[in-house]
């Protein structure tokens, strides 16, 4: 009998400090109106010196374990998606393993920029389906504030920090519940559209080109996920997209024929938290009761690489 992965725990962590558009406008040449009109962002959370990729990931993981009624030693593996690790090595995942007090299992990081959480879900799903693990923590954690050029108004207004986590558990038999499928893509020829410079360690982005790619590539990934499962737009209960830009999110909702009430939006409060954005939004919508057991949830993201992908889950 084959195994499949069910999402049983949800958690998140946001840094204590909130920076509004008005506060940014006092430092650089921008305005609340300029930022909000173009992106939908009104504020973002910024990590303090004592808040790290690992500490935020651990806090989100503890919340996901608590939601599921699980203990750290119930976990077989930790997969962390991050483009902003605290160290080159060891991995954030093994730091989290130690912080949680896990005496068993294994962990590793992967880097796929804003698509990282979708990639990490796919890796966790593969571990469960191959029976190498029964319970896997999947975490997206980012401290983009430490790779931004705070004098560059075209990028520094877009990003924030935070972490989100889900706990996946193997189930036997019923493959109509849980993570139905994931779909991953990349195009290395577009790598210079969004990257972090190796010398300055600052993020650089050609925003218009990234926007253009996002619209077409995300639409394709969405269609791919639904076709793989014999489903239609009408079957989707919730869209939980990567939170990069409200115009992109609205465009995807329109394509699916979903009203705004069926789209989880956090970009206005969180800004773009890269690999953390989808699990942060998912945790919020599950905990406030919007997303319920049995709902069909579509997740999609595009990031530097370019990387992009989608995931379909029945919660």
Catalytic residue of the set 183, 242, 245, 270? 242
Say whether 242 is catalytic.
yes
Catalytic residue of the set 58, 156, 213, 272? 272
Residue 54 makes CB contacts below 8 A (sequence gap 6+) with 86, 92, 95, 96, 99, 141
Catalytic residue of the set 114, 156, 213, 270? 114
Say whether 272 is catalytic.
yes
Say whether 270 is catalytic.
no
Residues annotated as part of the active site: 114, 242, 272
């Amino acid at each position: 009998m084959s195994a499949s992965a069910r999402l049983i725990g949800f958690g998140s962590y946001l840094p204590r400090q909130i920076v509004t558009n008005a506060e940014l406008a006092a430092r650089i040449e921008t305005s609340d109106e300029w930022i909000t009109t173009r992106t939908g962002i009104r504020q973002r959370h910024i990590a303090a010196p004592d808040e790290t990729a690992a500490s935020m990931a651990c806090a989100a993981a503890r919340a996901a374990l608590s939601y599921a009624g699980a203990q750290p030693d119930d976990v077989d593996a930790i997969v962390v998606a991050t483009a902003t690790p605290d160290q080159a090595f060891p991995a954030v995942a093994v730091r989290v393993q130690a912080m949680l007090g896990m005496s068993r299992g294994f962990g590793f990081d992967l880097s796929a920029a804003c698509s990282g959480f979708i990639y990490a879900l796919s890796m966790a799903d593969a571990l469960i389906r191959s029976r190498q693990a029964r319970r896997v923590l999947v975490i997206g954690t980012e401290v983009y504030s430490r790779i931004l050029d705070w004098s560059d108004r075209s990028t520094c207004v877009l990003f924030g920090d935070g972490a989100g986590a889900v706990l996946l558990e193997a189930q036997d038999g019923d493959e109509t519940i849980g993570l139905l499928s994931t779909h991953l893509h990349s195009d290395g020829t577009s790598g210079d559209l969004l990257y972090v410079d190796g010398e300055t360690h600052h993020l650089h982005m050609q925003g218009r080109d990234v926007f253009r790619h996002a619209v077409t590539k995300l639409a394709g990934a969405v269609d791919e996920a639904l076709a793989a499962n014999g489903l239609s737009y009408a079957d989707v209960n919730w869209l939980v997209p990567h939170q990069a830009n409200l115009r992109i999110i609205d465009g995807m909702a329109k394509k699916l024929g979903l009203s705004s009430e069926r789209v989880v939006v956090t970009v206005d409060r969180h800004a773009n938290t890269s690999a953390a954005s989808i699990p942060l939004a998912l945790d919020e919508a599950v905990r406030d009761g919007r997303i319920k057991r049995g709902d069909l949830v579509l997740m999609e993201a595009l990031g530097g690489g370019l990387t992009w992908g989608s995931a379909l889950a029945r919660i």
